Amino acid sequence: MRIDKWLWAARFFKTRSMAAKACEMGRIESGGQTAKPAREVRVGDTLRVKNDAAEFVVEVLGLSEMRGPAAVAQGLYRETEASRAARAAAAEMKKSAATFDFLHEGRPSKRDRREIDRLRGRIHPFNG
Question: 47: domain CATH number?
Answer: 3.10.290.10
Given a cut of 60, whether residue 25 has pLDDT beyond it is yes
Domain containing 56 equals: 3-96
Residue 19 falls within a domain, yes or no?
Answer: yes
Q: pLDDT digit string (tens) for 83-124?
A: 999 989 988 888 887 666 666 678 888 888 888 888 888 776
Residue 36 falls within a domain, yes or no?
Answer: yes
Q: How far apart are CA 50 and CA 23, in angstroms?
A: 10
Structural domain count of the chain: 1
Residue 116 falls within a domain, yes or no?
Answer: no
Given a contact cutoff of 8 angstroms between Cβ atoms, the answer to whether 34 and 63 are in contact is no
Cα 41 to its chain centre, rounded Å, is 22
Given a cut of 60, whether residue 28 has pLDDT beyond it is yes
At 128, the amino acid letter reads: G
Residue 127 falls within a domain, yes or no?
Answer: no
**What is the pTM assigned to this prediction?**
0.71
Given a contact cutoff of 8 angstroms between Cβ atoms, the answer to whether 23 and 35 are in contact is yes
Burial of residue 103 (number of CB atoms within 10 Å: 0-12, 13-18, 19+) = exposed
Q: pLDDT digit string (tens) for 63-87?
A: 988 999 999 999 999 999 999 999 8
Cα 40 to its chain centre, rounded Å, is 24
Given a cut of 60, whether residue 128 has pLDDT beyond it is no
Residue 69 falls within a domain, yes or no?
Answer: yes
